[in-house]
């Protein structure tokens, strides 16, 4: 009998297992992962940004957990010798509408306790000679890291504290048994396990795993592809910081941005287009089961009707690189079409409610012996350590060493 089983060895699942072992040394903790290695899905296709938390609605879990996560992630990297860089982020306004939105963004950052500074046109040109804008905000605490390195270090910690991480072990069944000695029986590719508490951090399969656990859910996970390009080697020095457009507050995505990565590259992206496969990353991938599921979901049709124009524009930029280039040339006019080179895409697991609204914060569902992380959007990687602590508070209590 395990004390805790965690489904999913992405960064949130690993952070949860690690925190449980830190909180209660000696308990038995098992992590089950269906892939060949940890961090193989969303964590392994992450943009690598350590977010500071300036965008998120004050009072939301996103805002609180990201602010704590930025520091916790850097502290974890320092403790484990993981290379990261605090390069800073510039949010660049290029017209009157964006300037007004930039002011609102600065106010939101202040409410969230995030340090930002206004930058005028001249100083922006000094800081980033290849970037053009009328005004900007700088977030000096924003950084970059390879979250796969963070996840692997977490997995090592788990095993050193006596926990187990088993890969190639897809969960096939979940049976919660109530009563005085309540437990959950988990059937998997590597056998049957029993546990007093189950936590599911299943990412792109969160709705399916929740249903498997007997939960009556009112949402579905819809995959959105985030497609990127990378710049050629001779353009890697075009910017020194993360360069973001001012986001449209009516949209859930932050827009196409320029991002230095920890290995020295510069990526351009992402867009956000409907994906036709939850876990196949090459362009054109289709999984019939995934498509059939969202086509049968009323919330998907309501969401689509409310976002037709945005969806068409995102699809156009996906298939016609000139449209993609136009978005980034608003603030970096020196880029050319030939500079956009292929780069692996990511897939975002977006929870959509039955009424067609997208869930923009972290979403949890639970039973007596199960807790399911049903929506963990960006900045989940940055926030993973405090998310893990929050989950352990829920399942083990908040008594911390």
Tell me the pLDDT tens digit for each residue of 277-307: 999 888 888 999 999 999 999 999 999 888 8
Residue whose entry in the numeric block shows the structure tokens 């193989």: 40
| pLDDT, tens only, 351-361 | 999 999 999 88
Q: Say whether pLDDT at 401 is over 50.
A: no
Phi-psi region of 357 (alpha: psi -120 to 50; beta: other; left: phi over 0): beta
What residues contact 115, with CB distance under 8 A and at least 6 apart? 52, 109, 139, 140, 141
User: What secondary structure letter does DSSP report for 354?
Assistant: T
| pLDDT, tens only, 150-165 | 999 999 999 999 999 9
The mean per-residue pLDDT over the stretch 19-28 comes to: 96
User: Lowest-pLDDT range, 2-6, 123-127, 245-249, 369-373?
Assistant: 245-249
What residues contact 185, with CB distance under 8 A and at least 6 apart? 173, 174, 175, 176, 177, 192, 193, 194
The mean per-residue pLDDT over the stretch 390-394 comes to: 95
Is 0.75 topped by the overall pTM? yes
pLDDT confidence band for 398 (50 / 70 / 90): low
Mean pLDDT of the chain: 92
Residue whose entry in the numeric block shows the structure tokens 């089983």: 5
Q: Which residues pair with 184 in a beta bridge?
A: 176, 195
The mean per-residue pLDDT over the stretch 8-34 comes to: 97
């Amino acid at each position: 009998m395990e004390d805790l089983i965690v489904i999913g060895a992405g960064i949130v699942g690993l952070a949860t297992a690690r925190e449980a072992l830190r909180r209660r040394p000696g308990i038995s903790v098992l992590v089950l992962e269906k892939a060949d290695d940890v961090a193989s899905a969303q964590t392994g296709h992450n943009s690598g940004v350590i977010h500071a938390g300036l965008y998120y609605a004050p009072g939301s879990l996103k805002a609180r957990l990201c602010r704590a996560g930025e520091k916790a992630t850097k502290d974890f990297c320092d403790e484990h010798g993981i290379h990261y860089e605090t390069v800073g982020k510039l949010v660049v306004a290029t017209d009157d509408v964006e300037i007004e939105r930039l002011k609102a963004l600065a106010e939101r950052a202040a409410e969230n306790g995030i340090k930002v500074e206004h930058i005028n046109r001249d100083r922006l040109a000094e800081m980033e000679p290849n970037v053009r804008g009328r005004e900007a905000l700088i977030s000096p605490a924003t950084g970059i890291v390879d979250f796969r390195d963070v996840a692997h270090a977490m997995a090592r910690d788990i095993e050193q504290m006596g926990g187990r991480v088993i890969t190639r072990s897809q969960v096939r069944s979940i049976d919660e048994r109530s009563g005085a000695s309540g437990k959950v029986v988990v059937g998997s590719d590597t056998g049957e396990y029993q546990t007093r508490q189950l936590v599911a951090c299943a990412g792109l399969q969160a709705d399916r795993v929740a249903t498997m656990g007997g939960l009556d859910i009112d949402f579905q996970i819809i995959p959105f592809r985030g497609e990127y390009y990378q710049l050629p080697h001779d353009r890697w020095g075009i910017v020194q910081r993360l360069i973001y457009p001012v986001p449209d507050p009516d949209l859930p995505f932050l827009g196409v941005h320029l991002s230095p990565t920890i290995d020295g590259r510069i990526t351009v992206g992402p867009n956000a287009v409907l994906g036709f496969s939850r876990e196949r990353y090459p362009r054109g991938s289709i999984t019939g089961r995934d498509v059939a599921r969202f086509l049968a979901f009323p919330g998907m049709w309501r969401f689509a009707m409310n976002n037709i124009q945005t969806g068409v524009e995102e699809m156009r930029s996906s298939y016609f690189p000139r449209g993609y280039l136009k978005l980034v040339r608003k603030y970096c006019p020196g880029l050319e079409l030939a500079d956009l080179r292929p780069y692996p895409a990511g897939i975002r697991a977006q929870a959509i409610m039955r009424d067609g609204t997208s869930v923009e914060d972290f979403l949890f569902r639970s039973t007596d012996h199960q807790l399911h992380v049903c929506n963990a959007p960006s900045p989940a990687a940055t926030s993973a350590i405090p998310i893990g602590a929050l989950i352990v508070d829920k399942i083990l209590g908040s008594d911390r060493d």
